[in-house]
Each structure stands twice: as C-alpha cells, then as structure tokens.
Structure 1
Amino acid sequence: MRESQYRGPEPRLGVTFDECGDGSITWHQPVGDQFIGPGGRFATGGLAVLVDSGLGAENHRRRPSGMWTVTTELRIDLVSPPREGSTGLGVRTDHLGGDGRVLTTRGEVVDDDDEVVAAALVKSMEFSIGVDPDEFDDEPPWPSLLAPGTLPEVLCLTLDKRDDGPGGTRAVEAVIAPEPALANPLGNLHGGVFAAVAEIAGAAVFPHEREVSSSSLEVHYIRQVPLAEPVTVRAEVVHDGRSWGIARAATLDERGRVCAVASVTVYGQG
C-alpha cells in the first residue's frame, strides 16, 4: 500500500482510521495533552475533529456518485470526560439516511472501556466541486502525527480576552494561525478545527475562577473559511448564571458575513 500524503488536522491531533474487511471504518484518538484547554480543564473541543471526521465519513460514503460532501451542522454533548487512565477513544456510528440533499449520522464517542464519553450528530450537504471527488477517496490510512502540546498549542491558537467594563460584553478573540495542517482536503479551515476553537473561546469567556466544563457544542457552517490568513473566532457571553452559562462564537469573512457560528454551553458553579 502506498504511503499517505495527507497532513491535515486529524493526524496532527492523533486521529487515525482503519478500513475493516467488511467495508466499515473504525476511528481512534489517543487521550493526551491535546484534550487540555486553558486552565488545565478537559476541553470538549478536543473531540471535534474526531466527530467531524468519523461521522462525516459515514455521510460521505453514502453520497451520490460524482458528488462531494461538506459538514453543515455538528453537535457534541459531553456525557463525562474520559475516565482517569483511559488511553484511547473511538466512535460508534448510526447513519440515519438522507433526503437527496442532506445526509445525517449520529454516534457516540467511547473510551477504551466502551463507556460513552459524548453523544454526537453530523449533517452533511451534497454538492459538486467541479473535479472528480473520487480521487480524494483513494487516500490510504494516514499515520498519527500527534503534535505535542495542549489543544490551543496544537491548533496554533492565541487567545485575547476583552472586557468592555461593567454592563458591557465580555468576549474572547481566538486567532488561528494559517497553518496548512489545519486545512481540509480542499484547502479551507477544517470544520472540526473551527468547532474546537469555538469551544475553547466559548468556555474562556467565563471567569477562570469558575470551574467550568463544556456540556454541549453546536455548530452551523455557512460558508467556507479560507486559511490563507489568520482566522479570528470571537466568542461572547449570552448567559452567565450561577450554575451554567452559554456563549456564542463566530468567524466572519472580509465582507463581515458569518462563515460559521457555534453555541457553547458550560456547567459549573459561579
């Protein structure tokens, strides 16, 4: 088998896949520093590339001939962080079908004891890209190229906290460096990377003295996000209650149009 040339965010985060004899695909991700967010907390965003790739692949495999698929919606609901000592994660998928335009797969992220870590759902839209999409499907399984560091470091991310004062909007701007390894096969920002960054920024808008854990992450992808220049994801508080909070994160294009938007829900005592 020829060696894979793919150098995207999946191998950078340690996400790999294997093709089984029955045609199914299994996905794997080690548990390590790439799940650590600011402040040392477990970052739900570390699951986003695994979910986008694993569930999205099930949709992609069922697309009509000559068509490509792109994620339009992604949702992750954290059940519980991986148990202490867990070394790896996988995904169980359940393809729900499609309506001739949109395909839907739900699934679960499980640890090495087969205990559920998170529930997830990915919707993918079918479209034509003007070239033969099957050439991308010939890519053999890639090796893990797990980059060292925490999740913000692996995603080449810098965070800038902004506080507009009493009564103002507390916000965080996360800037993604234009690292080619964070792109999808078409050269745009990988959807799982945006989801991961949105979760990091969304959780970071809440005070660090508050012990927060991300409960859910819901993303809508509207337009492609070019990666030729740094990409800014801005997160703002929607609700900051005593026991839980909600943040909204989005990235805009040069014309001020929303390209992707996410809702991040956290639980934890204020």
Structure 2
Amino acid sequence: MHTLAAQLPVPFYRGVPEVTFGVDMVSTAGGQACATMTPTAAIAVAGSDVLHQGALGILIDDTSAYAALTGRSPRQWGVSSVINVDFHAPVTSSSGRFESQAGFISRTGDWGFAAGTVRDGHGALIATVDQRMRYLPGDSSVHEKPWAPLRAADTLPPLDDILQPVHREARRAEFRLQTGPHLANPLGAMHGGIGLCVSEMAARVAWNEMVADEGVSFHTSNLRTTYVRPGDLSHDLDVRVQVVHASRSFVVLEVAILNRDAMPVVIALSTLHRSDGEWVVR
C-alpha cells in the first residue's frame, strides 16, 4: 500500500442532485477536497426541525469521491465502491450550512481510499466519513459539460414523499423509490449519494414505525453503503429493509435497493441507537 506523491486535478460537474440538495462546488487541491451544502426545506422530516441524516449523502459522496479521484492514474476515472459514515450529532434546521472536507489516504492497485469529516455551520462535528473507490479506465469528459440549471432545485419533492411504503411486518419492510432527475449522476444512473440517502431513510423510517412505544425513537449512528451495480432510473426502484438484530438500545438493519430485475443496486448495513438524552459532541 502506498500514497501517491502527486495528485491529479478533478473537474467538478454540478448536476441535478447537487443543485436540488444544495451542494455547492466541490474544489480539490492536492489530495484534498472540500464542499459546502445549504439545506433546503425538502430534506426536513415532516412536522419537525430535524433533517434527514441521509440528506447529507450527496455532500458526503461528492467530497470523499473527489478526494479519492485525486489519487487515480492518468486515463482513469473511478466509481464509489463503499462509503462508511459515523454520525456524531443531530442534523437540524439550526445546523446552518454544512461543510465537508476529505483527503486522499492511499492507493492499492486499482483501489483508492479517502476519509474526511462533515461539520455544521457552528463547527460541530456531524459525521466522520470514509470511501473506498475502484479506479477504471476512462476520463473526465462526462464531467466537462454545462452545470445543471439552478431551476433544477424545483424538481426535488420532499424526501418524505419519495419513499412510498408497500409492505410492513414485524421485522421486515418494503418501499417503492420514486425516481426522477434529482436522483441521477452524470451518466444517468442513480447517484451514489442518493443510494446513501435512501438507505439511511429506509432503515430509520422502517424501524421507528416498527417500534411499539411511540415515545421511543432511534437515530442512525452508522451506515455502511456498498454499491453493487448502476441503478436504472427508467423505472421506480424497490427498497427492502430487514432487521438483523434488535435490542432496547440499538438495532441493526440491512437495506437493499433493487433494480426491476430484483438485482441489488445498493446493499447497506445501518446501525441505529436509541435517541434518549442529548448527543454530546466535542
């Protein structure tokens, strides 16, 4: 394993997901990448000042991916393979503008690794992040086109509306993900940040609806998202949630986002902790 002495520049394309989720330009210098995100009303949990934690997915994926891309070789591009997120503080409407920073860590063969943080507008640590990327033959031409227009922000429906419940039982739930341009990466497949966002939401929503005690709620403490194949956005996608372990203090759930042929696009493992008391963050 080695760290490259020199990193390559990465052109940034601000697509529809970046516009709709309020992610500004991602900049890279050396092996570092940084970006900011101004939250919108669409990413709030209905009836509260809490934002969906997974709504940070575009910001997290873009920043960690661009940091990893600085470590590619000439005539290579990359695809996200695994993104791991640990949440350390709640995401609320008072959090202000989020800032994400990530740095290239290492490369082994055609695999790269980057890690970073997300902080809110007050400097509080919201999440720590790492991403493993697969480098592939290719170039940056797909990113070298005009940015999505700002009016694209109007295409994002409330996140509460894009996941429609289909079936629920004691330890299992199914949703239907409504697709649209707000989900697409520059190649037209599902954006990796959307896969992270939907996985976080599906696990948390499913479990909190399964809990019998209405006075108890759980928040996402860790989410490990593995990208298996491109998500086909020509049709709605199925999302299945299965409880792997449950106790009074924490729960582990597996989420699968599936194409029409029932083949997985994303497989995620989500750990939720009981939300009693306040989060204490340094």
Same fold (TM over 0.5): yes
Aligned partners of 1:188, 1:243: CA distance in 2, in Å?
37
Of stretches 4-13 and 187-196 in structure 1, the one that deviates more from structure 2 is 4-13
Displacement, 1:205?
1.6
Matching of residue 134 in structure 1 with residue 135 in structure 2: no
C-alpha contact (below 8 Å) 1:172/1:202 kept by paired residues: no
Identical aligned pairs, as a percentage?
Answer: 22
Displacement, 1:172?
3.3
Matching of residue 100 in structure 1 with residue 109 in structure 2: yes
Matches within 5 A, 1:26-37: 26-37=34-45
Letter in 1 for 2:167: R
Aligned partners of 2:13, 2:229: CA distance in 1, in Å?
27
C-alpha contact (below 8 Å) 1:27/1:91 kept by paired residues: yes
C-alpha contact (below 8 Å) 2:15/2:186 kept by paired residues: no
C-alpha contact (below 8 Å) 2:15/2:147 kept by paired residues: no
Aligned match of 1:90:
99
Deviations 1:204-261 (A, max 9, x none): 1223423121111110111111111111111122222111111111023344332210
Displacement, 1:185?
0.9
Aligned match of 1:42:
51
Aligned partners of 2:32, 2:168: CA distance in 1, in Å?
48
C-alpha contact (below 8 Å) 1:250/1:260 kept by paired residues: yes
TM-score (norm 1): 0.83
The equivalent position to 2:222 in structure 1, one of 216, 222, 238, is 216
Aligned match of 2:203:
202
Aligned partners of 1:190, 1:239: CA distance in 2, in Å?
29
Matching of residue 10 in structure 1 with residue 18 in structure 2: yes
TM-aligned CA distance change 1:20 to 1:170, over 3 Å: closer
Aligned partners of 1:194, 1:136: CA distance in 2, in Å?
20
C-alpha contact (below 8 Å) 1:38/1:200 kept by paired residues: no
The equivalent position to 2:173 in structure 1, one of 171, 174, 177, is 171
Q: Secondary structure at the match of 1:213?
A: strand
Deviations 1:174-202 (A, max 9, x none): x2223123111111111110111111110
TM-aligned CA distance change 1:179 to 1:84, over 3 Å: closer
Q: Secondary structure at the match of 1:17?
A: coil
Aligned partners of 1:115, 1:75: CA distance in 2, in Å?
19
The equivalent position to 2:118 in structure 1, one of 77, 101, 109, is 109
List gaps (5 residues or longer) in structure 2: 1-11, 277-282
Aligned partners of 2:17, 2:172: CA distance in 1, in Å?
30
Aligned match of 2:265:
259
TM-aligned CA distance change 1:109 to 1:27, over 3 Å: same
Q: Secondary structure at the match of 1:28?
A: strand
Letter in 2 for 1:50: L
Letter in 2 for 1:190: H
TM-score (norm 2): 0.80
TM-aligned CA distance change 1:192 to 1:21, over 3 Å: closer
Aligned match of 1:186:
187
Aligned Cα root-mean-square deviation (Å): 2.8
List gaps (5 residues or longer) in structure 1: none
Matching of residue 55 in structure 1 with residue 50 in structure 2: no
Q: How many residues are paired up?
A: 257
Displacement, 1:115?
2.0
TM-aligned CA distance change 1:20 to 1:54, over 3 Å: closer
Deviations 1:63-92 (A, max 9, x none): 222222100001111100247633200112
C-alpha contact (below 8 Å) 2:15/2:185 kept by paired residues: no
The equivalent position to 1:67 in structure 2, one of 63, 71, 76, is 76
Deviations 1:14-48 (A, max 9, x none): 01115478896531111343442367443220111
Displacement, 1:58?
1.1
Aligned partners of 2:142, 2:96: CA distance in 1, in Å?
30
Of stretches 55-64 and 69-78 in structure 1, the one that deviates more from structure 2 is 55-64
